Amino acid sequence: MIRNPKPIHIALMVSSILAIVVSLVMYLILDSNLIKVIVIFTLTSGLSFFLFFYTIEFFIYRKIKLIYKTIHSLKTQKYDAVLENFAWDKDPIFEMSKEVINWARDKKIEIEQLKKVADFRKEFLGNVSHELKTPIFSIQGYLHTLLDGAMDDIEVNKKFLIKAAKSTDRLSDLVADLLEISNLESGELRMNIDKFDITSLTKDVYEQFEVKAKQKGIDLLIKEGCNKPFFVLADKYRIRTVLVNLIGNSLKYGKLNGITSAAYYIMGDNILIEIADTGEGISQEFLPRIFERFYRVDKSRTRNDDTGGTGLGLAIVKHIIEAHHQTINVRSTLQQGTTFSFTLKASAV
pLDDT class of 133 with cuts at 50, 70, 90: confident
CATH of the domain at 151: 1.10.287.130
pLDDT the model gives residue 112: 85
| Number of domains composing the chain | 3
Q: Residues 232-265: pLDDT tens digits?
A: 999 999 999 999 999 999 998 888 889 999 999 9
Measured between alpha carbons, how far is residue 336 from residues 252, 279, 281, 283 in Å? 15, 6, 6, 11
Alpha-carbon distance 273 to 256, whole Å?
24
Q: Is residue 2 part of a domain?
A: no
Alpha-carbon distance 251 to 309, whole Å?
13
204 in the same domain as 182 = no
Q: Is residue 109 part of a domain?
A: no
pLDDT the model gives residue 265: 95
SS3 195: strand
pLDDT the model gives residue 271: 96
Which residues constitute the domain of residue 148? 120-186
158 in the same domain as 54 = no
CA angle 276, 246, 256 (to 5 degrees): 60
Alpha-carbon distance 312 to 310, whole Å?
5
pLDDT the model gives residue 193: 92
Q: Is residue 247 part of a domain?
A: yes
HEC per residue, 62-80:
HHHHHHHHHHHHHHHCCHH
135 in the same domain as 35 = no
Q: Is residue 106 part of a domain?
A: no
Q: Is residue 111 part of a domain?
A: no
pLDDT the model gives residue 258: 92
Q: Residues 52-87: pLDDT tens digits?
A: 777 766 666 666 666 666 666 655 554 444 444 545
DSSP state, residue 325:
T
pLDDT class of 324 with cuts at 50, 70, 90: very high
Alpha-carbon distance 302 to 299, whole Å?
8
199 in the same domain as 175 = no
pLDDT class of 331 with cuts at 50, 70, 90: very high
Residue of 145, 173, 185 lying closest to 161 (CA atoms): 145
Q: Residues 79-125: pLDDT tens digits?
A: 444 444 545 455 555 666 666 677 777 788 888 888 877 776 776 67
Q: Is residue 114 part of a domain?
A: no
48 in the same domain as 63 = yes
**299 compared with 9, residue with greater pLDDT:** 9
R_g (Cα) of the chain, nearest Å? 37
Beta bridge partners of 276: 261, 339
Residue 220: CB partners within 8 Å, gap ≥ 6? 206, 209, 210, 213, 247, 260, 261
340 in the same domain as 229 = yes
Q: Is residue 108 part of a domain?
A: no
Q: Residues 161-197: pLDDT tens digits?
A: 888 888 888 888 778 777 777 777 777 677 889 999 9
Q: Is residue 213 part of a domain?
A: yes
Alpha-carbon distance 231 to 108, whole Å?
48
pLDDT the model gives residue 169: 83
Q: Above pLDDT 90, what percent of the chain?
A: 30
Residue where a domain terminates, one of 133, 164, 186: 186
pLDDT higher than threshold 60 for residue 1: no
252 in the same domain as 204 = yes
Residue of 174, 341, 332 lying closest to 246 (CA atoms): 341
Measured between alpha carbons, how far is residue 95 from residues 10, 62, 313 in Å? 18, 13, 51
223 in the same domain as 252 = yes
The half-sphere exposure of 16 on its side-chain side, counting CA atoms within 13 A, is 6
pLDDT higher than threshold 50 for residue 301: no
Residues 10-22, mean pLDDT to the nearest whole number: 75
70 in the same domain as 131 = no
280 in the same domain as 147 = no
Q: Where are the alpha helices (H) located in the chain, listed in sequence order?
A: 7-24, 34-54, 62-76, 79-85, 92-147, 154-186, 198-208, 210-216, 236-252, 313-323
Alpha-carbon distance 118 to 330, whole Å?
27
Computed over every residue of the chain, the mean pLDDT equals: 79
CATH of the domain at 263: 3.30.565.10
Alpha-carbon distance 201 to 238, whole Å?
11
pLDDT higher than threshold 70 for residue 309: no
Alpha-carbon distance 243 to 53, whole Å?
75
pLDDT the model gives residue 348: 77
Residues 32-44, mean pLDDT to the nearest whole number: 73
pLDDT the model gives residue 32: 62
pLDDT the model gives residue 79: 45
Residue where a domain terminates, one of 186, 213, 241: 186
Residue where a domain terminates, one of 70, 90, 110: 90
176 in the same domain as 82 = no
250 in the same domain as 228 = yes
